[in-house]
Amino acid sequence: MPCQVRDETYVKVKGKWTYLYRAIDKKGKTLDFMLSERRDEAAATAFFVKAIGKNGWPDKVVTDKSGSNTAGLFNMNCLLVLCGWCWLITLRRTKYLNNIIEQDHRFIKKLTRPMQTFKSLKSASATLAGIEVAHMIRKGQFDQSEQSGFAQFAALAG
């Protein structure tokens, strides 16, 4: 995979801010997402493991200047070295290259802001997963051959 843009946004659960980690490719296709109570090295590494496990190893990753993202990517590069790979994932920490995912966050914020807060992390995860899948269908990421958006959503949810 050539490039991955990775960032997090905030969502309230039980009155506390939690972090919705999201990864998209340079064309805006949603690759993966994960809700976490913390924004630290362990959470960033777990998200990288999840995203890379589903989508393969990227050539480079664009992030904001978060230290947890840098530490998580360093852990992934250490794993590559331990496995004997001859190349590493390049990290680009540039404010303006991250705009594509910041714009993609608007859709999530638009739907979650009226909810104000979720009651539990489990319900927040389930609701955000449904919102992300609906957004992916709207962006045309799934094969839309002779199926409505609802039919695709029902097939994915079931």
Mean pLDDT of the chain: 80
Flag whether 61 is in a domain.
yes
Domain containing residue 72: CATH number = 3.30.420.10
pLDDT-derived band at 42, boundaries 50, 70, 90? very high
Flag whether 128 is in a domain.
no
Cα separations in angstroms, 135 against 31, 108, 129: 12, 9, 10
* Residues in a beta bridge with 7: 22
Flag whether 132 is in a domain.
no
Flag whether 156 is in a domain.
no
* Overall number of domains in the chain: 1
Flag whether 90 is in a domain.
yes
Flag whether 103 is in a domain.
yes
Two tokens at 74? Answer: 């360093």
- Residue range(s) defining the domain that contains residue 68: 3-118
Cα separations in angstroms, 101 against 20, 122, 145: 12, 24, 27
pLDDT-derived band at 99, boundaries 50, 70, 90? low
